[in-house]
Amino acid sequence: MASAEEVAKAAERRDIRDRWLLSAPALLIIFLAATGPLLIVLVYSLLTPGPYGDVKWQFSPEAWISVFMERDIFDDTLSVAAAHVTIFWRSIKLAIVTTLATLALGFPTAYFMATRSEKTRDLWLFLITIPFWTNLLIRTFAVLQIIRNEGLINTVLLKLGIISAPIQILFTDTAILIGMAYVYLPLMVLPIYASMEKLDFRLVEAGYDLYATRFQVLRRIIFPLVKPGVIAGSILVFIPALGAYVTPILLGGGKTMMLSNLIEMQFGQGRNWPLGSALSIAVMIIVMVALLAYVRNAGRSEMRHG
Amino acid sequence: MPDQPGKSAIEVRGVRKVFGTGDAQVAALDTVSVSIRENEFFTLLGPSGCGKTTLLRLIAGFDFPSEGEILLHGHDIAPLPPFKRPVNTVFQSYALFPHMTVAENIGFGLEMLGKPKTEIKARVAEMLKLVKMEALSARRTSQISGGQQQRVALARALAPQPKVLLLDEPLSALDYKLRKEMQIELKRLQHQTGITFIFVTHDQEEALTMSDRIAVMSAGKILQVGTPWDIYDRPAERFVADFIGETNFLTAAITGIGNGKARATLKSGVTIDATVAEGFQPKANATLVVRPEHAKLTGGKGDLSGTVENIVYFGTDTHIHVQLDSGEAFTVRQQNTRSAGCGFERGDKVGVSIGNDAAQVLRD
């Protein structure tokens, strides 16, 4: 009996060792390519900026102070860095609105796809992934072509006589939102579709059978069951949207500064690598805190409903 | 079966359901008419693909008929969406909501009807008691067994007090013993609630034991509607006789018809009396059906003669397969006793005597 137990234990040990060995390459890459650079950024954020960029290897908390504080040039007193707060808030707002817009567009799209026949579903899935084949910059320029004053929308509206002068869409917040929603839509559709495809549509029929209207079925049955997909999609859209760089610059005309521009500036003209590093880490912390709160809250409400 | 308007809970009138378009068109239901009475345990019986589930889905409102009317207590419900029909369904897969507890599942229909919370609570408690699931009301539906899920599905469908309860092969996923238990349970629930049950199954035994009336379906048509006794003893068509129970088919010449009876001359030359199926069109040769337990083997001469081919022991009875001299096959079922064997052996020359009132002339 004891030997059988030992054999089982040895097998289990072997099993665990094999698992570590198999995941070692992935773990190594994650460490070298993600954690390593992050540590460098963290270290840089605690150093003194060099006069021509780069850093001086001398500890300084100044970068972290300047993330949200401003030092008066004359008397060295600290005040809230209104500009930074505005930029943070603007980026967060844009990410939230983008997430909501892609959710509003992506949820019905995913539902539509999941309710097609098996063969057509694959076709739709294929169509959704087509934008990924093209470079982001080119896709953004394509949007620009459509919404500019001489672009598709304005030309058609003018020809139809609906408007007498072109509508200024390009270089407005609307333009940024259109571009962002377009770019990030697939990231919302795919996870929701993945959940929706697994949804047992007999549950939907059962809902109708039990006197639930279409809206009630959506709210009480479909939505709770595809919520994991909605959460995944929201995270996938929110995070890159927060750091979006190309789209706001091109479609917003660079008039309004976003987080990404602010950070980029510190490594460019600003020549303040520690501040750029500190800003990057600050954004990461904000995202992580927001995500943890979101996921915990979602989990709780799940249990309440459960 | 004469219609009794006003008395029927569900009346299906000339309903056709066509799926697909153009050349790929398939008629899942081909002009079906049937009247289901109030407080009746009515069964739609047939092999898979016969259209029984399609008919149930039309009554539930998940699909809409291509042609025809479906009346519920005299009102046409065919164009109504499912949530506007006072009809509930027990699904084959149960379709319980996995994100809700047992109690929340049962209360869902009442909640959607906008009933007050106190009423819902009381009704859910009542339903839990009815299906003996009080102890598990707070469980998730994934944490209970198949038989328990079945009970919850029943309670959920019964809670809003529907006029008609539709059951789509609800017992097919259960093992044999549990199925037997649930059959009795279903009969009890139907009796207790007084709700009209429309039950879909492909299991002929289930249909015979549970139903007040049965509609036998094949290829999108209802072939016969009647009590289990009607269906078993007076099948109208070959398909019905063959689908339900074991049967012997004999070809006979019809020599006279009158009063629902026919004189049929068998290939052996013997003439017997037989009942005639409804809708029988007079013709020279017809098919007779005789159930194996309604015939007897004799050592000497009978209505038919042949040779014993095979003897199969079943515990309660023995099936004796006889090759008739006319070339037809015939099976006789003989009740077993403890003391004696069946009294015949393979190769024996035997006679088969067909009991009085044992034969029925089919219409096809």
Say how far apart CA B28 and CA B16 lie, in whole Å: 8
Q: What is the pLDDT of residue B212?
A: 95
Beta strand ranges found along B62-192 (DSSP E): 67-72, 75-76, 87-90, 164-168
User: Strands B359-361 and B349-354: what pairing?
Assistant: unpaired
Chain B positions touching A226 (Cβ under 8 A) are: none
Going from the N-terminus, what domains does chain A have, and what CATH number goes with each?
A: 85-305 (1.10.3720.10)
Q: What is the pLDDT of residue A1?
A: 53
Say how far apart CA A233 and CA A102 lie, in whole Å: 9
Q: Does residue A225 sit at the B interface (CB-CB below 8 Å)?
A: yes
Q: What is the pLDDT of residue A306?
A: 39
Say how far apart CA B10 and CA B215 lie, in whole Å: 14
Q: Does residue A301 sit at the B interface (CB-CB below 8 Å)?
A: no
> Do the Cβ atoms of A211 and B100 come within 8 Å?
no
pLDDT above 80 for A295: no
Of the residues A200, A210, A218, the best mutation for testing chain B's interface (the one with the most B CB atoms within 10 Å of its CB) is A210
> Do the Cβ atoms of B160 and A209 come within 8 Å?
no
Going from the N-terminus, what domains does chain B have, and what CATH number goes with each?
A: 8-233 (3.40.50.300), 246-361 (2.40.50.140)
Say how far apart CA A212 and CA B140 lie, in whole Å: 21
Name all contacts of B322-331 with Cβ < 8 Å and 24+ positions apart: B322/B297, B322/B350, B322/B352, B324/B267, B324/B268, B324/B352, B325/B268, B326/B266, B326/B267, B326/B268, B328/B249, B328/B250, B328/B251, B328/B267, B329/B248, B330/B248, B330/B250, B330/B290, B330/B295, B330/B304, B330/B306, B331/B246, B331/B248, B331/B292
Q: What is the nearest CA distance from A306 to chain B, expressed in angstroms?
A: 5
| Residue B157: closest C-alpha in chain A | A210
Neighbours of A35 (CB within 10 A): 11
For chain A, give the percent of residues with pLDDT over 90: 47
| Residue B141: closest C-alpha in chain A | A306
Say how far apart CA B136 and CA B61 lie, in whole Å: 31
| Residue B95: closest C-alpha in chain A | A203
Say how far apart CA B148 and CA B154 lie, in whole Å: 10
Residues within 8 A of B (CB atoms), A 1-60 only: none
What average pLDDT is seen over chain A? Answer: 88
Q: What is the pLDDT of residue B3?
A: 44
**Residue B203 Rama label (left phi>0; alpha psi -120 to 50; beta):** beta
| Residue B108: closest C-alpha in chain A | A210
Q: Which of A208, A216, A306 sits opposite B82 (nearest CB)?
A: A208
Model confidence, pTM: 0.80
For A142, the token pair is 């394509």
What is residue B140's DSSP assignment? B
Say how far apart CA B48 and CA A101 lie, in whole Å: 46
Q: What is the nearest CA distance from A299 to chain B, expressed in angstroms?
A: 13
pLDDT tens readout for residues A28-80 = 998 888 888 999 999 999 999 988 878 889 898 888 988 888 887 787 778 88
Q: What is the pLDDT of residue B1?
A: 42
| Residue A304: closest C-alpha in chain B | B100
Q: What is the nearest CA distance from B95 to chain A, expressed in angstroms?
A: 5
Neighbours of A99 (CB within 10 A): 24
* Cα angle A131-A133-A134, degrees, rounded to a multiple of 5: 75
Chain B positions touching A305 (Cβ under 8 A) are: 99-100
Q: Which of A202, A205, A210 sits opposite B160 (nearest CB)?
A: A210
Q: What is the pLDDT of residue A223?
A: 94
> Do the Cβ atoms of A306 and B101 come within 8 Å?
yes
CB contact at 8 A, A227 and A186: no
- Which regions in chain B score pLDDT beneath 70? 1-6
Q: What is the nearest CA distance from A43 to chain B, expressed in angstroms?
A: 46
For B320, the token pair is 């004796």
Q: Which of B60, B96, B113 sits opposite A209 (nearest CB)?
A: B60
Q: What is the pLDDT of residue A234?
A: 92
Q: What is the pLDDT of residue B298?
A: 86
Q: Which of B95, B100, B108 sits opposite A202 (nearest CB)?
A: B95
Q: Which of B95, B140, B160 sits opposite A206 (nearest CB)?
A: B95
The secondary element (H helix, E strand) that includes residue B229 is helix B228-233
> Do the Cβ atoms of A208 and B83 come within 8 Å?
yes
Q: Does residue A224 sit at the B interface (CB-CB below 8 Å)?
A: yes
Say how far apart CA A15 and CA A21 lie, in whole Å: 10
Q: Does residue B65 sit at the A interface (CB-CB below 8 Å)?
A: no
Say how far apart CA B85 and CA B72 lie, in whole Å: 9
CB contact at 8 A, B334 and B353: no
pLDDT tens readout for residues A173-189 = 889 999 999 999 999 99
Say how far apart CA A79 and CA A62 lie, in whole Å: 14
Chain A positions touching B96 (Cβ under 8 A) are: 206
Mean pLDDT on A223-228: 92
Chain A positions touching B21 (Cβ under 8 A) are: none
Place of tokens 């025809």: B68
Q: Does residue A212 sit at the B interface (CB-CB below 8 Å)?
A: yes
Residue type, B105: N
> Do the Cβ atoms of B62 and A208 come within 8 Å?
yes
Q: What is the pLDDT of residue B2?
A: 44
